[in-house]
Amino acid sequence: MQHFKLVIAGKAVEVARHADVLNPSTGEVVGQMPIATAADVELAIASAKASFPAWAAKTSAERAESLSAIAANIEAKSEELARLLTLEQGKPLCGLGSRFEIGGAVAWTRYTASLDLPVEVLQDTPEGRVELHRKPIGVVASITPWNWPVMIACWHIMPAIRTGNTVVIKPSPFTPLSTIRLAEIINEILPPGVVNIVTGENDLGAVLTTHPDIGKVVFTGSTPTGRKVMASAAATLKRLTLELGGNDAGIVLPDADPKAIAEGLFWGAFINNGQTCAALKRLYVHDSIYEQVCEALAAYASKVKVGDGLAEESVLGPLQNRMQFDIVSAYVRDAIEKGGRVLTGGAAGEGPGYFYPVTLIADIDHGADLVDKEQFGPALPIIRYTDLDDVIARANDNPAGLGGSVWSSNFDKAKAVATRLECGSVWINRHGAIQPNAPFGGVKQSGVGVEFGVEGLKELTTTQSVFV
C-alpha cells in the first residue's frame, strides 16, 4: 500500500495524519491520503504566491514548451496513472475508462499548450493606439470532484499555468491519489511552487475560497457546494469559474432510427456509470417510436459487461462511493413506486463493492426524483411525449442547464430544436462529446463561466487596456 505526500514548493511534504482511500470495487485500501492542516494550505498558497512573479514573467513560448513537456511526461506514465485511477475511482481501464481519461488529459494539455492570447490592437489611428493585454490573475485555487479527477485537474491546471498563474489544487477526498501522482509528474517539469497540491477533507476547500492571496477559484463539483464557494469567495471578490451539476435532457424526434441511435444514447447516458456532469440524464422519446427505442436500448444494455475495473473485459465499474450508491438506489426505488416500468436493472445485488446494474426505467414522468434531480449514476428515465413544443418546455423546466441533445435523421430539424434548449452545450445524434477547442460550461444553475479553447483561457486572465 502506498503512502502519499503533499507537494508544496516542489517538495514532497510529510504530514502527521492520513486517511485510507478505498477501492470501490472491493472495499480494500488503495493507499493513504495525507490530511493537510490549515497551516499546510497556508504554506502551499505562500509557495504559489512566491513563484508567481518569475512564472508570470516567462514568455508565452516558454510556458507553452513546459506544457508540451508535461503532456509528454503524463503520456510516458499513462499506464501507471490509469491503474491508480482505476483502483481509487472504480472506472475500468478499458472502454471509456481510465486509459481514455489519461489520454484526454494528455490531449487537453497539448491543445492548451498550442493556444495563445497575444496582445490585441483595438485601435491604431492618428488619434492614438489602444491595445488589449491579458495578464495572469495570480494564485489560482483548483477544487475538483471524484468522477474524472485527472482530466478535470488538467482542465483546471493547464489553462491557469499556460497564462502565467500559479496553482494550489485540492482534489476530492474520495479520489486524491491519482491527482497527487499527477502533481508529482507535473512538478518534474515545472519550477518549484508553480503547482502545489493539498489533500484532506472538505474543510480545506473553505480555507482556499476565503484566502486573500487566492485571486481566482476554479471549482468543479455539485451545485450546492458551488453556491457555498460563491458565497465564501464574495468577501475578497475572487474571480470564479464554477462547473456544476447537470440534468441533461435528450429528445428523440419521431424520425430517428431507434436501432441506429441506441449505442450513442447508451454511452451518452452511461459513460463513467452516469457519473459525468454532461451525461444524458433524462431521455424524452416520441410516442410513435417509444417502444422501439426502449427495446433497442435494453438490447444494447444486455451486452455491457460491468465488473472490477482492473479486469480488461469490464466496460463499466462500480459507483465511486457509498453516498452516490445510496442516492441512485433511492431514486430508482422512488421511480418504481411512482409506476416506472423497469426494462433492465432496478436493484443492486449483494456486495462487495458499490456495483449497481445498468438501469432503464420507462413510463415515468416529471415528479419523480430520477427525472427532476441529478441521479449521477447508471439509471436512465425514459419519458414519453407527443407534442414538440411541450417536450421542449419540459426539457427546459429544470434549474440545471449544462448539456442537451436531439436525435433525428433530419439535421436541420434537429438543429432547430437543439437551439431552443437552455443549456451550454447541445449535440445532435450524440451526447456529452466535449472537445478542447469548444467552450464548455453551464447556463442557469449549472455554472458560471466556461472552460476550454481560447474562451476558457481568457477566464484565467484579467484585461488591461493600454492607451498609447
Which range, of 46-54, 63-71, 93-101, 167-175, touches ligand NAD by CB under 6 A? 167-175
Among 32, 66, 209, 329, binds ligand NAD (CB under 6 A): 209
What is the bridge-based pairing of β-strands 6-8 and 11-13? antiparallel
Alpha helices in 200-257 (DSSP H): 203-210, 223-233
* Phi, psi dihedrals of residue 355, rounded to the nearest 5°: -75, 135
Task: Indicate which residue of 101, 243, 451, 459 is catalytic.
Answer: 243
Spatial distance between the Cα atoms of 253 and 424, rounded to a whole number of angstroms: 21
Residue nearest to ligand NAD (CB): 205
Which range, of 239-247, 253-261, 329-337, 346-354, touches ligand NAD by CB under 6 A? 239-247
Among 38, 107, 206, 433, binds ligand NAD (CB under 6 A): 206
DSSP string, 378-397: SEEEEEEE--HHHHHHHHH-
C-alpha distances in Å from residue 159, one per residue of 54, 115, 156, 231, 349: 17, 9, 6, 24, 43
Task: List the grid coordinates of 272.
Answer: 463513467
Task: Indicate which residue of 88, 94, 101, 277 is catalytic.
Answer: 277
Q: Measured on CA atoms in the order 109, 112, 114, 118, is the torsion positive or negative?
A: negative
243 counts as catalytic: yes
Which range, of 22-30, 31-39, 242-250, 285-293, touches ligand NAD by CB under 6 A? 242-250
For ligand NAD (CB under 6 A), the number of binding residues is: 29
Site string for ligand NAD, 282-321 (x = CB under 6 A): ----------------------------------------
Closer residue to ligand NAD, CB minimum distance, 23 or 408:
23
Closer residue to ligand NAD, CB minimum distance, 262 or 269:
269
Residue 94 CB, nearest distance to ligand NAD (Å)? Answer: 21
214 near ligand NAD (CB under 6 A):
no
List all residues 6 or more positions away from 206 whose beta carbon is below 8 Å from its beta carbon. Answer: 228, 232
Among 24, 138, 221, 309, binds ligand NAD (CB under 6 A): 221
Are 335 and 364 a contacting pair, CB within 8 Å? yes
Q: Measured on CA atoms in the order 220, 225, 230, 235, is the torsion positive or negative?
A: negative
Q: Specify burial of residue 235 (Cβ count, 10 A radius: 0-12, 13-18, 19+).
A: exposed
Binding to ligand NAD in span 446-465, by CB under 6 A = 447
Residue 291 CB, nearest distance to ligand NAD (Å)? Answer: 31
Task: List the grid coordinates of 323.
Answer: 453516498
* Phi, psi dihedrals of residue 39, rounded to the nearest 5°: -65, -35
Closer residue to ligand NAD, CB minimum distance, 145 or 159:
145
Which range, of 124-132, 237-245, 266-274, 409-417, touches ligand NAD by CB under 6 A? 237-245
Which range, of 10-18, 218-226, 282-290, 387-395, touches ligand NAD by CB under 6 A? 218-226
Closer residue to ligand NAD, CB minimum distance, 55 or 174:
174
For the CA atoms of 226, 219, 378, 256, the dihedral, rounded to the nearest 10 degrees, stands at 100
Q: Which of 242, 247, 285 is nearest to 449 (CA)?
A: 242
Spatial distance between the Cα atoms of 34 and 3, rounded to a whole number of angstroms: 8
What is the bridge-based pairing of β-strands 29-35 and 17-22? antiparallel
Closer residue to ligand NAD, CB minimum distance, 68 or 222:
222
Among 284, 290, 376, 427, binds ligand NAD (CB under 6 A): 376
Spatial distance between the Cα atoms of 108 and 158, rounded to a whole number of angstroms: 8
375 near ligand NAD (CB under 6 A):
no
94 counts as catalytic: no
Please state whether 449 falls in left (phi above 0), alpha (psi between -120 and 50) or beta.
left
Closer residue to ligand NAD, CB minimum distance, 58 or 373:
373
List all residues 6 or more positions away from 177 whose beta carbon is below 8 Å from its beta carbon. Answer: 2, 4, 21, 30, 31, 33, 84, 87, 88
Among 34, 136, 245, 439, binds ligand NAD (CB under 6 A): 245
Closer residue to ligand NAD, CB minimum distance, 155 or 407:
155
Residue 205 CB, nearest distance to ligand NAD (Å)? Answer: 2
Binding to ligand NAD in span 383-442, by CB under 6 A = 402, 442
225 near ligand NAD (CB under 6 A):
yes
Which range, of 3-11, 37-45, 103-111, 143-151, touches ligand NAD by CB under 6 A? 143-151
What is the H or E stretch that residue 361 is in? Answer: strand 359-362
Closer residue to ligand NAD, CB minimum distance, 215 or 221:
221
- Other C-beta atoms within 10 Å of 212: how many? 9
Q: Which of 98, 106, 120, 46 is nearest to 76 (CA)?
A: 106
Among 33, 194, 229, 327, binds ligand NAD (CB under 6 A): 229
Closer residue to ligand NAD, CB minimum distance, 243 or 459:
243
Chain residues that interact with ligand NAD, rule: CB under 6 A: 143-147, 170-173, 202, 205-206, 209, 220-222, 225, 228-229, 243-246, 277, 374, 376, 402, 442, 447
Residues annotated as catalytic are: 243, 277
